Amino acid sequence: MLISHRSNAPDNATLIGFTNLRHARTTRPMVIEKGRGIFLIDENGREYIEGTSSFYSAALGFSDPDLVEAAIRQMRQLPAYASGLYRTVPVALALGEKLASMAPLANARVAFASTGSEANDFLIKFMRFGNAHRGEPKRVKVIARAGSYHGATMSTAPLGGFPGTARAFNLPMDDVITVSQPDYVNSAFAGEDEAAFTARMLGEIERAIERAGPETVGAMILDPVSFSAGCVLPPAGYLTGLRNLLDRHSILLFDDEVITGFCRTGSMFAAETFAMRPDCMTLAKALSAAYVPISAIVMDGDFYDALEHGSDDEGTFAHAATYGGHPVAAAVALRMIEIIEERDLLGHVRRVGPRLHQHLASLAGHPMVFNTRGVGLGGAVQLHSLPNAAGSRGQAMQEAMMAEGLLLRVVKDTINFAPPLIITLAEVDELFARFVRALGAVERAEVAA
Ligand SMILES: Cc1ncc(COP(=O)(O)O)c(C=O)c1O
């Protein structure tokens, strides 16, 4: 027998990311055993509301029978087959057709991958291929915004400029240009109105492009609502001005809809909510409600043409992934899109979203609350940071919310909300009741300290 038994029997042979690994030697992680609707139950029988859909992904909650059924049906029909060498499966073709018809892109084409990181990584790789074959091999750099998150791979972790995800791993950063997150709430100068702020942000990007050499810049990637930066909404005029600016330098706009895609912002895609005109989009998470791993790269016709020409030059487009277009994942994603239509999830988001916004707005006068914001079925409460202790209130809230049975994503002192799209009005009320109790507990603890 080759099974080894670890002598001190820790429960943590599995590396769990965004965790202090030494801490993990002695402390058992939170272990979730089952879920029903928006609720989760941990191994100790404690129940939680998952108010950020498990990393913004579980769009239908944790017990949707139709998605499970779609997976089982496909498992029985054909559980595995890799798309490549011009062989594929019907569900991958059908999903490609469907996404191409839904995306707000002209003559859209679709490629599949398994994760959001992989979709962004492949897209950057495709861009480099296309540019190399249309005589612009130097156009490889990608502009990204500080605080945005686009993935965990070698090419995507440096996008967003988090020191921990890129520099700490000693990743190559030469082809990344980091610009400011357009966070009007937190980064505007005193007295600066939104238009002036937007102009300043765009000016910074223009200067960064000029410094890098416009002929070396291939694309800018952005998450239209940056949840990783604390639910930052695009300031007025930013996305239109940005598109014009990028057009002037023949730089592409990549729309990372990994979180925002599929109803989150009150439209099918955030590109529609904010009248943004991207060249390519990446999708993941809600695409399959996160029941199975699948992601997609949606490219407009011009972008795809460059790939086609390149494949003429090379004789092939030498790219595939064993699980890109996996039949079970594609079947679940197809069913997810049907469910969005059958159950009018967009209508539901538009009905329930305002209740979430009402609750957020009702907290605006609270002494601990600095700002609240919302869009679609998402939003944030930003607390005043304690002097010299930024993030400590967020941390205290994290613990207080867990004690109340509420899981929300905390970014420093900002608490993000993005519940499963199926949440009911009564459940939104319950989520906020727990949130307010947690806020009260933190407030009382501060007074007592
Ligand atoms: C906006 C955005 N893009 C990309 C990713 C990476 O997706 P994944 O974790 O599936 O690789 C994430 C993950 O949270 C994300 O939030």
* CATH code of the domain in which 351 resides: 3.90.1150.10
Mean pLDDT of 375-399: 97
Is the C-beta atom of 258 inside 6 A of ligand 1? yes
Are residues 81 and 89 in contact, defined by beta-carbon separation less than 8 angstroms? Answer: yes
Cα(50) to centroid(ligand 1), Å = 18
Cα(258) to centroid(ligand 1), Å = 6
Task: Verify that 40 and 112 share a domain, yes or no.
Answer: no
What pairing do the DSSP bridges indicate for beta strands 406-407 and 47-50? Answer: parallel
Of the candidates 129, 109, 104, which has an alpha carbon nearest to the alpha carbon of residue 299? Answer: 109
What's the pLDDT score for residue 163?
Answer: 80
Number of structural domains (the chain) is 2
Is the C-beta atom of 264 inside 6 A of ligand 1? no
- Position 12 in a domain: no
The span from the CA of 222 to the CA of 141, in Å, is 14
Q: Which of 342, 376, 411 is the last residue of a domain?
A: 342
Task: Verify that 217 and 314 share a domain, yes or no.
Answer: yes
Q: Which residue has the higher pLDDT, 2 or 59?
A: 59
Is the C-beta atom of 259 inside 6 A of ligand 1? yes
CB atoms within 10 A of CB 385: 16
- Position 6 in a domain: no
Nearest CA to ligand 1 atom 8: 116
> Which pLDDT band holds residue 54 (cuts at 50, 70, 90)?
very high
- Position 61 in a domain: no
Nearest CA to ligand 1 atom 2: 150
What's the pLDDT score for residue 1?
Answer: 45
Nearest CA to ligand 1 atom 14: 55
Q: What is the crossing angle of helices 327-342 and 345-362, to 10°?
A: 70
For residue 115, the domain's CATH number is 3.40.640.10
Nearest CA to ligand 1 atom 4: 150
Is the C-beta atom of 223 inside 6 A of ligand 1? yes
Which stretches within 180-323 are classed as H helix? 184-187, 194-212, 238-248, 270-273, 301-314
Task: Verify that 382 and 277 share a domain, yes or no.
Answer: no
For the stretch 133-161, pLDDT in tens is 999 999 999 999 999 999 999 999 999 98
Residue 176's contacts (CB-CB under 8 Å, 6 or more residues apart) are 141, 142, 144, 158, 159, 161
Is the C-beta atom of 150 inside 6 A of ligand 1? yes
- Position 425 in a domain: yes
The span from the CA of 295 to the CA of 285, in Å, is 7
For the stretch 277-326, pLDDT in tens is 999 999 999 999 999 999 999 999 999 999 999 999 999 999 999 999 99
Tokens representing residue 448 in the block = 């007592």
- E strands in 53-134: 109-113
Q: Which of 294, 320, 342 is the last residue of a domain?
A: 342
Task: Verify that 400 and 265 share a domain, yes or no.
Answer: no
> Which pLDDT band holds residue 10 (cuts at 50, 70, 90)?
low
> Which pLDDT band holds residue 11 (cuts at 50, 70, 90)?
low
Q: Which of 342, 362, 388 is the last residue of a domain?
A: 342
Helix (H, G, I), strand (E, B) or coil at 217: strand
- Position 83 in a domain: yes
Are residues 416 and 389 in contact, defined by beta-carbon separation less than 8 angstroms? Answer: no
Pocket test for ligand 1, best of 123, 149, 294 (most atoms within 8 A of CB): 149
- Position 4 in a domain: no
Residue 101's contacts (CB-CB under 8 Å, 6 or more residues apart) are 108
What's the pLDDT score for residue 106?
Answer: 98
For the stretch 193-243, pLDDT in tens is 999 999 999 999 999 999 999 999 999 999 999 999 999 999 999 999 999
Cα(75) to centroid(ligand 1), Å = 26
What's the pLDDT score for residue 126?
Answer: 98
- φ and ψ at 341, to 5 degrees? -75, -50
Task: Verify that 329 and 381 share a domain, yes or no.
Answer: no
Pocket test for ligand 1, best of 221, 259, 282, 291 (most atoms within 8 A of CB): 259
Q: What ligand 1 atom has the least distance to the C-alpha of 115?
A: 10
What is the residue range of 182's domain? 67-342
Is the C-beta atom of 370 inside 6 A of ligand 1? no
For the stretch 17-41, pLDDT in tens is 999 999 888 889 999 999 999 999 9
Task: Verify that 374 and 393 share a domain, yes or no.
Answer: yes
- Position 428 in a domain: yes
What's the pLDDT score for residue 25?
Answer: 85
What's the pLDDT score for residue 161?
Answer: 82
Mean pLDDT of 344-363: 98
Task: Verify that 273 and 392 share a domain, yes or no.
Answer: no
